Amino acid sequence: MSATPSGRIVLDDVGITFGRNGDRVEAVRRISCAIAGGEFVCLLGPSGCGKSTLLNAMAGFVLPTEGSLTLDGEPVLRPGADRGMVFQHHSLFPWKTVLANVEFGLKMRGMSAHERIGLARTFLHAVGLGGFEKHYPAQLSGGMQQRVGIARVLVNNPRVMLMDEPFGALDAQTRLMMQELLLQIWQEVRTTVVFVTHDIDEAIFMADRIVVMTSRPGEVKAELKVNLPRPRSPEMMADAAFVDLKRICLAMVREETLKVMGPLPTSLAALRRSR
């Protein structure tokens, strides 16, 4: 019998509130969700619904005000090397080379230079950046910088990879290629991935399961299983099953967005009359 994969995250009635007294802002409310080890889960919802706040709680940057959050049965109380974070804008050290950025975490853990450089080169090749070891972040495109960020996380062999709209600043074609690359790597390493996105196509293409959140304070509106075969290719975005799930997600996210924005005016003239 094979061992249960590590990286299981359990949120039990998690609530997160910022500020005090009259300045209190309730970001998320009563979030209960279990993410299996090795699962790829996307958090989807309107802007300001608490997706990033929830991700930061999983990373240990933010502590729940209520409820509990555990990783493999242990409470998450602080950041740790067992959880790697990839942000929308790269957080690479601009004064370090690509290789030095990727090996940095291993160096801090006391690994020998020979071993850590070998591992860093391996993961740079895995993300298609073999030969760029001596470059600096400013010499790379946005997509290449994000690939370095992914390699820097993966080289530390984390139980969980937390990704906060990592491809949101990229052009459409580069974004799609990065999605495919991440899925290829995930198929091999099978670390748990929690991926925040506003993009419905991205969520369906990437995820095993989509957690749709309500407008603030964010709650779980729905959990949708993505029953599409793997490995996935961009062509399947035209399949009926993909389009049907997209329609469901779009309706849910639109409903929550309208709660914040209100109904759109039928014309500029109608908007002027309402004022």
132-141 pLDDT per residue, tens: 999 999 999 9
Secondary structure E strands in the chain: 9-18, 25-35, 40-44, 66-71, 74-75, 83-86, 160-164, 192-197, 209-213, 220-225
Contacts of residue 144, Cβ cutoff 8 Å, sequence gap at least 6: 129, 132
| Strand ranges across the sheet with 192-197 | 83-86, 160-164, 192-197, 40-44, 209-213, 220-225
Question: So what's the pLDDT on residue 239?
Answer: 94
| Averaged confidence pLDDT in the chain | 91
Question: Can you tell me the distance from the alpha carbon of 156 to that of 151, in angstroms, rounded to the nearest whole number?
Answer: 9
Q: What predicted TM-score, i.e. pTM, was given to this entire model?
A: 0.91
Q: What is the DSSP code string of 4-25? A: PPS--EEEEEEEEEES-GGG-E
Instruction: Check residue 234 and report its DSSP letter.
Output: G
Could you give all domains of the chain from N- to C-terminal order, each with its CATH number? 9-82+159-266 (3.40.50.300), 101-157 (no CATH)
Provide the residue type at 239 as one letter.
D
Give tens-digit pLDDT for 15-50.
999 988 778 899 999 999 999 999 999 999 998 899
Question: Can you tell me the distance from the alpha carbon of 199 to that of 94, in angstroms, rounded to the nearest whole number?
Answer: 29
Whether 117 contacts 165, CB under 8 Å: no
